[in-house]
Structure 1
Amino acid sequence: MFRSTYMSAVVLLSATVGTLSGCGQSKAPSKEAFATALEPVVRDVFCHPIDVMRYEVDGEPGGSGFPIVTSPKSRMAGPGSDGKAVAMLDGLAGVGLVTRTTFEKPARWSGSTNAFVRQPLTSYAPTEKAAPYLRTVERKATNAMVSVPSFCLAKGEVVDVVRWTEPTDVAGHRVSQVTYTYNGVDPIPVMPPAEQARIAEPKESTMPFELQSDGWRPVRR
């Protein structure tokens, strides 16, 4: 009886030690842990927000993604008022990556409380071929993450985790500075070969990481 109890205790103790060891290893700084946590951050590094004066159409669901609806007669100051983003969308429509549709309906500037006024509008929607390059990307706003329609030149990938600093305590947080290299793959088809080669070259960057309950995570800035 004693031997049976003793052996059960040994098995239980071994399992407990193994579990604790596994937890400790998951929270130890390592190239694999940092590389995995970096993947979703680096993926969107070549994406740029599409700043346009968005409009909402009366009776139709709005949103912050695609399609993008704007007015060619908008003269208000604000994001996209310089017309560069619209010119870019028109250019992508010209090469078949965006479907451009013009129509007239009651609409108002998105976010305003003005009355809906019938006016000319233009809608931009990515084609199936352009879906990897025209998509919503999570960006940090003042108090939360928001989805922003973006133009992505390529998909970012982690090449290597070069080094990291010894973890230190900063204001109650365990922090390490991680230096890594990344590059762009699967560039947008209309990109000139020289630009494709430039994006494919590894680039180096450094990002702070914080130890959280589920392991090391990048500190978004």
Structure 2
Amino acid sequence: MSAVVLLLAAAGGLSGCGDTKAPSKEVFAAALEPIVRDVFCNPIDVMRYEVEGEAGDAVFPVVTSPKRGLAGPGSDGRSMAMLDAAASVGLVTRTEVEKPARWKGSDRPFERQRLIAYAPTDKGVPYFRAVARRATKGAVTVPSFCLAKGEVVDVVRWTEPTDFAGRRVSQVTYTYHGVDPIPVMPPAEQARMAEPKEATMPFELQSDGWRPMPR
């Protein structure tokens, strides 16, 4: 066999391995990674404030009021307690200030008031970070508290791709677990988080390959 034929055969084999439109364990695992990464993250549920003259679209620091009654919708104060606990072990800084501010997204005039600003330290960056969440007007980025980093363990199986409502779809079942847990987590909880858990997610074939379907 000539060298040219060998090179063409090798190139064909490489392009086949990179085919994102053919269902495979590797293709599904790569698409799942950015979603599974944040599975152990929860939004920090406090009423956020924007300070006059400062960037209002910054995710951190989280600026809020020391009045517990001004926590976010549905909050029971646990997010504030969690932030204070994180500050006590050096995962975030807690700074009390007095500046002109207003509720984030409000059109009210800025009013000088007492505030608390929480910002992750170098030690806390893996656990306090921005996470994209779906919203009615598209994805939004919110400050979140992450107990661990989610990691895909295995793609267990997937259904034969079928056409449904004009889409090519497949149900993908996979396992995942938590790695690099927050250092203050008790050993028993760390062990529980490290155990593989099973989940199923619908995928659709798009122009650039298989992608999880929005829920």
Fold shared per TM-score above 0.5: yes
CA root-mean-square deviation:
2.2
Q: Distance in 1 between matches of 2:20 and 2:76?
A: 48
Q: In 2, are the aligned partners of 1:137 and 1:150 still within 8 Å (CA)?
A: yes
Tell me: CA distance 1:78–1:43, structure 2 relative to 1, closer, same or farther (3 Å).
closer
Other-structure match for 1:4: none
Letter in 1 for 2:181: P
Quote the residue 2:155 is aligned against. 161
C-alpha contact (below 8 Å) 2:46/2:70 kept by paired residues: no
| Partners of 2:68 and 2:111 in 1: CA distance | 13
* Contact 1:53-1:80 at 8 Å conserved across structures: no
Matches within 5 A, 1:73-152: 73=67, 75-76=69-70, 78-79=72-73, 81-152=75-146
Say if 1:163 and 1:180, in contact at 8 Å, map to a contact too: yes
The corresponding residue for 2:41 is 47
Amino acid aligned to 1:184: G
2:118 is aligned with what amino acid? Answer: Y
Gaps of 5+ in 2: none
**SS of aligned partner of 2:214:** coil
How far off is 1:26 after superposition? Answer: 3.2
CA distance in 2, matches of 1:189, 1:78: 27
Q: Find out whether 1:197 has 2:191 as its counterpart.
A: yes
Percent of aligned positions with the same letter in both sequences?
75
Using a 3 Å threshold, how does the CA distance of structure 1 residues 34 and 126 change in structure 2: closer, same or farther? same
Distance 2:71 2:125 in 1: 29
Structure 1 pair 69–25 and aligned structure 2 pair: CA distance change class (3 A): closer
Cα distance change on mapping 1:115 and 1:25 into 2, 3 Å? closer
Question: Displacement of 1:214 after TM fit?
Answer: 1.1
- Any runs of at least 4 consecutive aligned residues in structure 1 with deviations exceeding 6 A, and if so which? none
Contact 1:64 1:149 in 2 (8 A): no
**What is the deviation of 1:146?**
1.1
What's the TM-score, normalizing by structure 1?
A: 0.87
2:181 alignment counterpart? 187
- Runs of at least 5 residues in structure 1 that lack an aligned partner in the other structure: 1-10
Q: Could you tell me the TM-score, scaled by structure 2's length?
A: 0.89
State the 1:217 CA deviation.
0.7
Give the aligned length.
207
Which SS does the other structure have where 1:151 is aligned?
A: strand
Q: Is this contact kept in 1: 2:68–2:77, CA < 8 A? A: no
Partner of 2:123, secondary structure, is helix
> Which segment is superposed worse, 69-78 or 149-158?
69-78
Q: Secondary structure at 1:130's aligned position in 2?
A: coil
Alpha-carbon displacement from aligned partner over 1:112-152 (angstroms, at most 9, x marks no partner): 11111111110000100010100001111113111111000
Cα distance, 1:106 vs structure 2: 1.2
Distance 2:110 2:74 in 1: 21
Structure of greater Rg: 1
